[in-house]
Amino acid sequence: MNSENAPLSPSSKPLLRALKGEAVWPPPIWLMRQAGRYLPEFRAMRDKADFLTRCMTPDMAEELTLQPIRRYGMDGAILFSDILILPWAMGQSLEFIEGRGPVLGAIRSAADLQRLDPKRVLEATAPVRETLSRLSKSLPEVTTLLGFAGSPFTVACYMVEGGGSRDFAATRQMMQTEPMLFDRLIETLTVSTAEMLCGQIEAGAEAVMLFDSWAGILPPTAFRRYVIEPTRQIVRHIREKHPGTPIIGFPRLGGIMVREYAEQTGVNTLALDTVADPAQIAELVPEITLQGNLDPMALFSGGEAMIREAKAIRDALKGRPHVFNLGHGVMQHTPPENVGALVDAVRAV
C-alpha cells in the first residue's frame, strides 16, 4: 500500500493523543453539545422527527453528529444521543416535550424499579451502536469518535423525579429514607452503564465520557458513595474489556471533591465545569488530562473577551495534557460564527 494513502494510526489523532496523556499543542478542541440547536442545519433536521426518533435513527444521528465536524473541523465527534436512552432502553417511559424537556414515568417504589428490565438494553440500543459503526467509517481520519453515557447518580435523578428539577428533592429524600431502594437503582444503572459503554466501544467509539451533571448537589459522604464509587466500578469494568480506551469523567460542580474523584475513579481525563480554576486543579491533580472549561456564556457573547478568556485557559495549561472544551454545553442561541472564532483562537499558535 502506498504510504500516502495508508490509514492514519490512532496516534495521529490529536484528541486521542491528549486523552491518553500526551501534551499536544495547540490543544485539541471539541465542545459539549456541539451538535445542537444553535446550528441552522440541526434545526432543519429537528423539523423532520422528534428528538427520540432522531437519536434512534442511525441516518439522522450520524448526520447530526457530523454537522459540527463539517462546519468547524472539531478534533472530536461526540455521538448524537442522550443520557436518558439507558432508562428508556430498560423500559421506563420517556418523552421529550418542547419547552419542558424530558418527562419519564417516575421511579418511586420497589415495584417501579422491578418493572425495569436491564436485559432489554442491548437490543434496544442497537441503533446507537449502528450509528457509531457508521461514524467510524464516515468521520475524517484525524477525528476521534466519542461515545458517552450519563453517570448513575445523574441518570437516577431524572428517573426518580420523572424529569428535570431545581433541587431533585424526591431523589435526595429517597437517598435518606429508602437507602436500600436507591442503592438498588444505582447498582442497576452502574452495571447497565458499564455494559452499554463497552458496546459503544465495540461499535467504534475510541473514547467515552461519563456525564455526572448533578454531582454537585451531594455532600461529601454521598458524593463518595453515589458519584465516585459507581464511576470507579464502571471504569474498572471498561478497563477489563477495553484497557486502552480513554475515559473522560465530568463530575459537574464537584468542587474540591474532584481531587478524590480523579484519584479514585481511574478516569484518564477530568472534565472541568465553568467554576473550576484550571491552574489550581492542575496542581491538585497533576497526573491526569484536563478538559475544559470556557464559560458557555463567553462563547454566546463572543468577541475579543471570549478570545482572551479562551487563550488564558489554553495558555495556563500549556505543557500538560489538555483538551479544550466548555465548562458545560453550547447554549441554544449561540451564534455559529462565535464557535468558528473560538476554534480559530484555540488553534492559533
* Residue 326, domain CATH: 3.20.20.210
Lowest mean per-residue pLDDT among 4-8, 74-78, 154-158: 4-8
Place of cell 485539541: 28
Q: How many residues does the chain have?
A: 349
Please tell me the chain's helix, strand, coil percentages from 3-state DSSP, rounded to the nearest 5.
Answer: 55, 10, 35
* 276 among annotated binding-site residues: no
What mean pLDDT is predicted for residues 231-251? 98
Residues 6 or more apart whose CB falls under 8 angstroms from that of 276 comprise 258, 292, 293, 327
Give the chain's mean pLDDT. 95
* 333 among annotated binding-site residues: no
d(CA 233, CA 228): 9
pLDDT digits (tens, 9 = 90+) for 252-268: 999 999 999 999 999 99
* 226 among annotated binding-site residues: no
Contact between residue 49 and residue 60 where contact means Cβ atoms under 8 Å apart: yes
Number of domains in the chain: 1
- Confidence grade of residue 1 (pLDDT, cut at 50, 70, 90): very low
Q: Kindly state the percentage of the chain with pLDDT values over 70.
A: 97
- Confidence grade of residue 11 (pLDDT, cut at 50, 70, 90): low
* 36 among annotated binding-site residues: yes
**Residue-number span of the structural domain to which 329 is assigned:** 3-347
- Pairing type for strands 247-251 and 207-212 reads parallel
Residue 6 has pLDDT above 90, yes or no: no
pLDDT digits (tens, 9 = 90+) for 76-126: 999 999 999 999 999 999 999 887 889 999 999 999 999 999 999 999 999
Place of cell 425495569: 116
d(CA 131, CA 24): 29
What mean pLDDT is predicted for residues 165-193? 97
pLDDT digits (tens, 9 = 90+) for 266-325: 999 999 999 999 999 999 998 899 999 999 999 999 999 999 999 999 999 999 999 999
| The pLDDT value given to residue 67 | 98
CA torsion through residues 320, 321, 327, 332, sign? positive
Q: What pTM was computed for the model?
A: 0.95
**Degrees to nearest 5, angle at CA 335 with 333 and 337:** 160
* 37 among annotated binding-site residues: yes
142: region left, alpha or beta (phi > 0 left; psi from -120 to 50 alpha)? alpha
- Confidence grade of residue 199 (pLDDT, cut at 50, 70, 90): very high
Active site residues: 33, 37, 46, 82, 158
